[in-house]
Amino acid sequence: MLAATTAALLSLACSGPRGAGEGEAPAAPLDPVVLLPPEVPETGALRIAAVFPTLGRYAASGLQSLNGVRLAVDELNRAGGIHGRDVELREYRTGSYFVDAQRAAAVAAGAGVLAIVGANSSELSMAVAAEAESRGVVQISNVSTAQDLTWDPQTGNDREFVFRVCVSDVVMGRLLADFAIEELGAGRAAVLYEVGRTYSARLARSFVDRFAEASGRAPAEFFYLALETDFRPQLRRIADYGPDVVFVPGSFTDATLVGAQAEALGLEVTLLGGDSWSNPLLFRRGGPPGEAYFAELCSPSAEFERRYQAVFGQETQGCRAMLAHDAVRVLSAALASLGPLEDEALEERADELRRRLRDAVSAVEVLGASGRIRFDEHGDRLQGIALSAVERRPDGPPVALARGWLGER
């Protein structure tokens, strides 16, 4: 059944935008694109929401994330639920614009869900966080790394209801800088990032600050604009600088173009990347010119891959599904710690239950598919990053192989 629904979602992802209901006319360009779950009778189940895009630029990873949530809920209910109550998953499938995610979160909170899992992009997760925090609903993101997701940049205060089961971009950048210095012996570094893209710029800044602090030499900084495809001018300047490593905190498509063009220019340098490099198509068009490494937000799990493949007939392609699955594991452990719940707690005292759930998530320690999960005082997972190495092969395209672990496990 899960596989059949996935096929339907893939068909939906390829179709045009729709309004809030299946039978409604197409939405106006600026209207939120939210596909609501069907209404079902009240059964006493514990309701949680999944808010992920199935349309637009983030749809592919959104579908993988949604599959991870659905797999976890299905497994949980097959095992008897939580103290005899099933978990009811409410799927809010959206476009890839922040207003879509924000609208979905608002509707989900109004429908009485106890928690929201999502989203798969920091931009969308920030929009969900604004609603989750203001309405007192627990939110757990699977792969959103923006440092200020779990705290409000306007006030500097923590968002008490917002959590993530991955590290922040600040942690990732610092660990990659330490790896460059300590493991690769890099004395000089350059950074090539996309100006105007928050993920890329923040990850670059974290790497630059840590590298300068640890080595005493600030990396040279170079940038490019969105949709830029010719990186040769920047690469020529990088070659003149002569770095040992070049950090490219952009997408796998950007990294592939950078790698191919660097190789064509004869620039022999080690490339480093963040988690957005994680894609089977990385360097399929050429490159890298030398060694290449990138961060992953989790380590591969053969057991989880087997279960996912058996249900959905496809590979996970990264950490999105596994970490979304683990977000549900966190919620189930936290809900179980509250003991059996009376119907009154789910209805008349729902706000109190949500606060109790928040406190339980804060204190939870659970073993998920990605390993041990626990949170710091900000709601960020206490964990390091996995490292993948790109291996070139004479008889085929490059492949990414697990290299090890950086930081706390």
Span 258-270, pLDDT tens digits? 999 999 999 999 9
Specify the pLDDT at position 348: 82
Kindly state the average pLDDT of the residues 112-129: 96
Q: Give the CATH number of domain 169-296+385-406.
A: 3.40.50.2300
- Model pLDDT, residue 156: 83
For the ranges 141-155, 340-354, 367-381, the one whose mean pLDDT is highest: 367-381
Run of H or E residues at 352: helix 350-363
Structure confidence at residue 192 (pLDDT) = 98
| Torsion angle of the four alpha carbons 152, 156, 161, 165, in this order, in degrees rounded to the nearest 10 | 80
User: Which has more confidence, 330 or 27?
Assistant: 330
Write down the domain spans for the chain: 2-167+301-373, 169-296+385-406
Instruction: Please answer whether residues 389 and 291 qualify as being in contact, where contact means their C-beta atoms are separated by less than 8 angstroms.
Output: yes
User: Which secondary-structure segment (H or E) carries 360?
Assistant: helix 350-363
Domains 2-167+301-373 and 169-296+385-406 share a fold: yes
- Is this prediction's pTM over 0.85? yes
> Do 34 and 20 touch, CB atoms closer than 8 A?
yes
Q: Which residue has tokens 């630029």?
A: 57
- Cα torsion 61, 62, 63, 67 to 10°: value is 100
Round the average pLDDT of the chain to a whole number and report it.
92
Residues 368-396, mean pLDDT to the nearest whole number? 94
CATH of region 2-167+301-373, choose from 2.40.30.10, 3.40.190.80, 3.40.50.2300, 3.10.20.600: 3.40.50.2300
197-242 tens-digit pLDDT:
989 999 999 999 999 999 999 999 999 999 999 999 999 999 999 9
* CA 197 to mean position of chain CA atoms: 16
Q: In this model, does residue 22 exceed pLDDT 50?
A: no
94 vs 106: CA distance, rounded Å: 13
